[in-house]
Amino acid sequence: MRLEHIMSPIQENLNILQQRLMTIAEGTGNETVLEAVTYFFGKPGKFLRPALLMFSYGAACEGGCGGDQEVEVDGQTRPEILLSQAVEMIHSASLIHDDVIDRDEYRRGLETLNRRYGNKSAVLLGDVLFTFAFDLLSEYFPKAYARVLTTTITQMCASELIQAKGCETKADYLQIITGKTAIFMSACCRLGAMLAGASPTQCEVFAGIGMDFGMAFQIVDDMDDQDPNGLRFTGLDEAASYMKRAMAAVDTLSPSVYKESLRQLGLFVLPT
């Protein structure tokens, strides 16, 4: 199934998200920041993390949750779009920093910011996206939302430090991909459920879906890239085991188009 079809229930939201990302630097008064941010977001990625957040939000709302009453938005933009914007800016900042660390020169068929502007400017531009994200969070959302993301970023950085020291065992590998990828996808699902007003128990269910989805996603990605550590320590059978657990948790959700979208997204990542 094509990704465009899977995203169709939230496509309008994703279009608005892309428009907002393209204009986030307009108020900075800095031409370099405006040019670089517009260039970076000019060719969008798959928006998997915003999709996980929006699908989780929709599924939790369809399950009877009434929304987080402490969230106050301007009435013009839906809160799930604003929260997805913060998530995508944090994800993008991490990609920009990763490109500097890994000395990558191309992403999505375009020059990376470090190749185009230099390492120092790229690091600073990634920092700018972090500030944009947390400024948005502080304006519209209770502290608990930022706390989820700061905890996530800490774990992401810790996993990069483990990877920098060297991946010697399967335990190292699993810890690295948990921090690099799965913990962020888990946070996206958790945030979507929180925004819907889900109970702590329900939020944990959604967080677990994101965690297992993220583990499967990263293993599949490592297999596709012929990553030596991935090939050494794991394989598609283990990815399938994680995805099976994620889909079993999805099965417990109330029927909705968003629940079905989560299922289809799992099949997109790891076809049966």
Over residues 137-146, the pLDDT tens digits come to 999 999 999 9
Give the residue-averaged pLDDT of 145-154: 97
- Average pLDDT value for the chain: 93
* C-beta atoms surrounding 204 within 10 Å: 15
CA-closest candidate to residue 70, choices 136, 144, 154, 167: 144
Looking at residue 73, its pLDDT comes to 72
CA-closest candidate to residue 40, choices 102, 91, 103, 83: 91
Q: What residues form DSSP beta bridges with 111?
A: 106
Give the residue-averaged pLDDT of 61-80: 78
Query: Is residue 272 predicted with pLDDT exceeding 90?
Result: no
Give the residue-averaged pLDDT of 168-182: 95
The answer to whether 9 touches 261, Cβ cutoff 8 Å, is: yes
Query: Is residue 197 predicted with pLDDT exceeding 70?
Result: yes
* C-beta atoms surrounding 167 within 10 Å: 21
> Chain-centre distance of CA 17, in angstroms?
14
The 10s digit of each residue's pLDDT in 74-101 is 667 899 999 999 999 999 999 999 999 9
Query: Is residue 65 predicted with pLDDT exceeding 80?
Result: no
Name the token pair of 47.
Answer: 């928006």
Least trusted range by pLDDT, from 76-80, 207-211, 234-238: 76-80
Taking the C-alpha atoms of residue 48 and residue 92, their distance in angstroms, rounded to an integer, is 12
Give the residue-averaged pLDDT of 43-63: 94
Name the token pair of 263.
Answer: 């299922």
* C-beta atoms surrounding 56 within 10 Å: 32
Give the residue-averaged pLDDT of 122-134: 96
Least trusted range by pLDDT, from 25-39, 46-60, 124-138: 25-39
Give the residue-averaged pLDDT of 24-48: 92
* Backbone phi, psi, residue 26, to 5°: -65, -30
Give the residue-averaged pLDDT of 162-173: 92
Q: Greater confidence, 102 or 262?
A: 262
Query: Is residue 157 predicted with pLDDT exceeding 70?
Result: yes
**Cα separation values, 254 from 63, 144, 169, 257, 260, Å:** 5, 26, 40, 10, 10
Query: Is residue 24 predicted with pLDDT exceeding 70?
Result: yes
Taking the C-alpha atoms of residue 108 and residue 161, their distance in angstroms, rounded to an integer, is 25
Confidence of residue 63 (pLDDT cuts 50, 70, 90): confident
